[in-house]
């Protein structure tokens, strides 16, 4: 699977090595050493995936990630944050900005390759598919119908959007803020408690008795489609 990968990294040795290794894997690579240029290049020529250093001169990786994930035009591009920080708290912070994955320097190229591959695989085909399945759950996006165990489930419009968003990346944990931004939209003011209310409703209809529970609460982090 070859893709266009953008590297935003100010440490030249890391960037050079990454470029070398990724090209060896068959990817097309472009890069920048500072934040403003990175954001400009990414917007000009949308890459398939971004490797984003946490700390960059002028505009930080965290800020770039937030800006891209807030924008409907770019928020589908998978982002892997590269960082020297290894604290659990920073990891959560990275996910809060909307990053799709996170590696701590020094990382193994092999591990990074595996993560890149997995993100590329799930980013591509799903977005254009009309019928998506996860376990015994099936969403028909065109007809806006949901089935569990082959029985139709009736969802409200917000619950449908929530589920449609979750099913793009099953098992991935989303914070309330990420759910608000992606399901309700950027400029709409809603309290994060609203998310809990709709999750509760979604769960109630999805968790048909006798079947496994599908929406998992991850303490102090958010929710994921899981079981
Ligand atoms: Ca840096």
C-alpha span between 212 and 138 (Å, rounded): 15
How far, in Å, is the centroid of ligand 1 from the Cα of 61?
Answer: 9
The yes or no reply on domain 129-225 and CATH 1.20.210.10 is: no
How far, in Å, is the centroid of ligand 1 from the Cα of 41?
Answer: 18
How far, in Å, is the centroid of ligand 1 from the Cα of 39?
Answer: 15
pLDDT tens profile 104-128:
888 899 999 999 998 988 765 544 5
The pLDDT score that the predictor gives to residue 207 is: 85
Q: Using alpha carbons, list the distances in angstroms from residue 190 to 31, 123, 165, 193.
A: 37, 28, 18, 8
The superfamily (CATH) of domain 4-124 is: Response regulator (3.40.50.2300)
Region for residue 191 given its phi and psi (left: phi exceeds 0; alpha: psi -120 to 50; beta: otherwise):
beta
How far, in Å, is the centroid of ligand 1 from the Cα of 40?
Answer: 18
How far, in Å, is the centroid of ligand 1 from the Cα of 18?
Answer: 14
Domain with CATH 1.10.10.10 in the chain: 129-225
Indicate the pTM of the whole model.
Answer: 0.57
Domain with CATH 3.40.50.2300 in the chain: 4-124
Over the chain (227 residues), the average pLDDT of each successive run of 10 is 92 95 94 96 94 92 92 90 75 81 89 92 62 90 88 91 90 90 78 90 88 88 89
């Amino acid at each position: 699977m070859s893709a266009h990968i953008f590297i935003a990294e100010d440490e030249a040795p890391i960037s050079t090595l990454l470029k070398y290794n990724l090209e060896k894997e068959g990817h097309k690579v472009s890069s920048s050493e500072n934040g403003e240029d990175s954001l400009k290049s990414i917007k000009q020529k949308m890459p398939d995936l971004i490797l984003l250093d946490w700390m960059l001169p002028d505009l930080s990786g965290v800020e770039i990630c937030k800006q891209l994930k807030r924008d409907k035009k770019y928020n589908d591009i998978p982002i892997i944050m590269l960082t020297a920080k290894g604290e659990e708290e920073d990891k959560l912070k990275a996910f809060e900005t909307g990053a799709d994955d996170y590696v701590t320097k020094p990382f193994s190229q092999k591990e990074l390759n595996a993560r890149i591959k997995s993100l590329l695989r799930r980013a591509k085909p799903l977005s254009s598919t009309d019928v998506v399945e996860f376990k015994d759950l099936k969403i028909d996006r065109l007809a806006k119908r949901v089935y569990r165990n082959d029985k139709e489930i009736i969802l409200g419009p917000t619950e449908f959007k929530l589920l449609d968003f979750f099913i793009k990346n099953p098992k991935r944990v989303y914070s309330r803020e990420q759910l608000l931004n992606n399901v309700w939209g950027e400029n709409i003011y809603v309290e994060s408690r609203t998310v809990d209310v709709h999750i509760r409703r979604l769960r109630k209809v999805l968790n048909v008795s006798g079947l496994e529970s599908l929406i998992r609460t991850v303490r102090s982090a958010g929710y994921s489609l899981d079981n």
